[in-house]
Amino acid sequence: MTVTQIKPDLYLSMPHPCSYLEGRTSTIVFVDPNQPLDSARYADFVRQGFRRSGELVYRPYCQDCAACVPVRVPVQGFCPSRGQGRVWKKNTDIRVTTRPAAFTPEQFALYLRYQAGRHPGSTMDDPDPEKYIGFLRASRIETLFCELRGSEGQLLGVAVTDVLPDGLSAVYTYYDPDARARGLGVYAILWQIAEASRRGLPWVYLGYWIADSPKMSYKTNFRPLEALLDGRWTALEGSRKG
């Protein structure tokens, strides 16, 4: 019996200002949104360097610029740095609870606090519940809202995570802006690596590393790290800090 697989059409966006590098123009190639992908088919795109924002599955496709480099952590080979070890120990009181991707007022209130402190006045700083859940959830992809709670049960952060057949994909993390000293963004990735190991999954996909963007350059601190270069996943060389 022959099974015919339908390949979704790809489209190219109009040029728009780059979200990460000032003064540059960006375009993206995206999958036909009328052909929603389940976790298995989405994983095929992730291995080719695609990401998602809500239902939109995309990849940067810019002329004369290749700054956005897809990266992933090989779970079994991961070795935390001294600084990451300190972050892990600093947060031993945290308990993580995984929940299906669904709206809760408590999570949304924390999200608004995070955006007001991190991205005030931006398009992310929007008190619309439908836009919030539409940004983080996809209808046919298994997504977990992983709640990070302190010793008294207070919600400190949420790590939105897609579960794929070959790994976990870090979608977005937001946290209490008053708890910056905890390093919760780093802790969330460390937890995702530990959770992937517990599930027997080989990879944690971190999205795009952009060397010249402070918001994205931190990803090279997780080692070893693989980058999708010229169509092949290759060990990314270089030292890390901390």
Q: Compute the average pLDDT of residues 174-192.
A: 97
pTM passes above 0.85: yes
d(CA 221, CA 71): 12
For 39-95, write each residue's pLDDT tens digit. Answer: 999 999 999 999 999 999 999 999 889 999 999 999 999 999 999 999 999 999 999
d(CA 5, CA 96): 38
Domains of the chain: 10-66 (no CATH), 71-235 (3.40.630.30)
Average pLDDT score over the chain = 93
Residue at 111: amino acid letter: Y
CA distances from 159 to 21, 107, 143, 189 (A): 25, 11, 10, 8
Which candidate, 242, 116, 98, 102, places its Cα nearest to that of 177? 116
Instruction: Give Cβ neighbours of residue 41 (< 8 Å, ≥ 6 apart).
Output: none
Phi, psi of 49 (to 5 degrees): 95, 10
